[in-house]
Amino acid sequence: MGVVQGSGLGPTLCIVMASDLKPLSVINILFKFADDTTFLVPENTDIDISVEFEHFRCWAKYKNMNINLLKTKEIVFCRPFARSFLPLCLTGIERVMSAKLLSVTFCSNLKFDEHVKNILTICSQHCYLLKCLKVQGLPAKQLSLVFSAIVVSRIIYALPAWDGFLSNDLIAKLDAFFLKKCFPLGLQL
């Protein structure tokens, strides 16, 4: 609290402040990225998620930090059509069917339909920009550079994390995007 966002000292202070934040159980996993924390609790754990979350609340209170409960979400990953009973969610925490983590949309059924849809929506908007740049006379070499920077980079971002989960239908949608939007502009991968 009190550190100006974007300051040179901010990242270092954040690392120092969060260095002692650890889960109670060695089975549970904690991911820290800047001021965001993601907590992964497997089904068979020795410490319940509610106990772990209360541990985090106490840690935050001790450090004079606030947990933004409106931004805190719970997602339960399960196989489609699983018959197992899902426990009640954490008190005061919204359970969601999908969550965005570092610009990758994860769904509770481990499918990436929503992520691909989000990517293609953004990339379609960027293709309109590319079309405008082409009409304005931007040379093909520079147009390809802009294409790589704003379209290709968006598609391949974190690709190893989600491409193994793509169905043939999603692969076809990605291929169709290139055929319908990019190739008519003279752009290629």
Q: What is the pLDDT of residues 57-85, one digit of tens each?
A: 898 899 888 888 888 888 888 776 666 55
State how far the Cα of 84 lies from the Cα of 43, in Å rounded to an integer. Answer: 11
Q: What is the pLDDT of residues 91-100, one digit of tens each?
A: 778 888 898 8
Closest C-alpha to 22, from 73, 58, 68, 76 = 58
What are phi and psi for residue 68, nearest 5 degrees? -80, 100
Q: What per-residue confidence (pLDDT) applies to 118?
A: 93
pLDDT tens digits for range 123-150: 989 988 888 898 899 888 888 888 888 8
pTM for the whole thing?
0.74
Beta strands 73-74; 94-95: pairing state: parallel
Pairwise CA distance, residues 129 & 82, whole Å: 43
At residue 179, the pLDDT reads: 77
Q: Which of 74, 177, 75, 182 is nearest to 116 (CA)?
A: 177
